[in-house]
């Protein structure tokens, strides 16, 4: 009997996806992990997760992707949720000013609720989702990119969960960032 070897360099990266309700957090996770998209909105309650194995520069990693409900009232264990994360994807909807404006307080809340408050290197990326709805765009790429520069040089992507635009790139970037900070 030959048991499969567990690669010594295998590691789990915990990614949390946060942002206002309906920006497309669950849709991004579903597209990335199971290549599925639904127009039908089903609200996330509490938090949900999916795992995906990826190979980054020869290292086998498991991404554990946690999708948090946008409606805050549903979720009581926020501090633990943030503290256990290795990195965070901040999502807004390019057709919603409010979802973009909320990123700042969301980011501050996450940093303040994390146990390790000294961790100034906690990796974020910002994702502007729904680029397939260009006609209804409210937040320009330039405005968002500038905000990311001013808030700690956060990597920035515009995505569409619907049309599978830039999703792999965004997840790959944040996984790489975690490895760099490890």
In the complex, the residues that contact ligand GTP under the rule CB under 6 A are 21-27, 38-39, 41, 43-44, 69-71, 129-130, 132-133, 160-162
The answer to whether residue 102 forms part of the interface with Mg ion (CB under 5 A) is no
CB nearer ligand GTP, residue 67 or residue 86: 67
Q: Helix and strand tally (H, E) in the chain?
A: 6, 6
CB nearer ligand GTP, residue 61 or residue 103: 103
Between the CA of residue 87 and those of 14, 22, 37, 91, what are the distances in Å? Answer: 7, 21, 24, 13
The answer to whether residue 44 forms part of the interface with Mg ion (CB under 5 A) is yes
Closest distance between ligand GTP and the C-beta of residue 12, in Å?
23
Angle between helix 25-34 and helix 167-181 axes, rounded to 10 deg: 90
Q: Are 70 and 113 in contact (CB under 8 A)?
A: no
CB nearer Mg ion, residue 64 or residue 151: 64
Closest distance between Mg ion and the C-beta of residue 69, in Å?
6
Closest distance between ligand GTP and the C-beta of residue 115, in Å?
24
- At 82, is the secondary structure helix, strand, or coil? helix
Closest distance between ligand GTP and the C-beta of residue 170, in Å?
12
Measured in degrees and rounded to the nearest 5, phi and psi for residue 131 equal -65, -15
Cα separation, 162 vs 119, in Å, equals 34
- Among Mg ion, ligand GTP, none, residue 133 binds (CB under 5-8 Å by kind): ligand GTP
């Amino acid at each position: 009997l030959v048991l499969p070897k567990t690669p010594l360099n295998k590691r789990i990266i915990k990614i949390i996806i946060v942002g206002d309700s309906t920006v497309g957090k669950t849709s991004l996770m579903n597209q990335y992990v199971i290549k599925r998209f639904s127009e039908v909105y089903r609200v996330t309650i509490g938090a949900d997760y999916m795992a995906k194995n990826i190979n980054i520069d020869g290292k086998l990693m498991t991404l554990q992707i946690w999708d948090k409900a946008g409606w805050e009232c549903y979720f009581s264990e926020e501090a633990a949720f943030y503290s256990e994360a290795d990195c965070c994807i901040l999502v807004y909807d390019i057709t919603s000013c409010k979802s973009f404006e909320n990123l700042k307080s969301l980011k501050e809340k996450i940093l303040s609720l994390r146990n390790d408050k000294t961790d100034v290197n906690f990796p974020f990326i910002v994702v502007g989702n729904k680029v397939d709805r260009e006609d209804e765009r409210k937040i320009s790429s330039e405005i968002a990119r500038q905000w990311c520069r001013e808030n700690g040089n956060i990597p920035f992507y515009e995505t569409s969960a619907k049309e599978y635009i830039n999703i792999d790139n965004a997840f790959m970037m944040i996984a790489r960032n975690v490895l760099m900070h490890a």
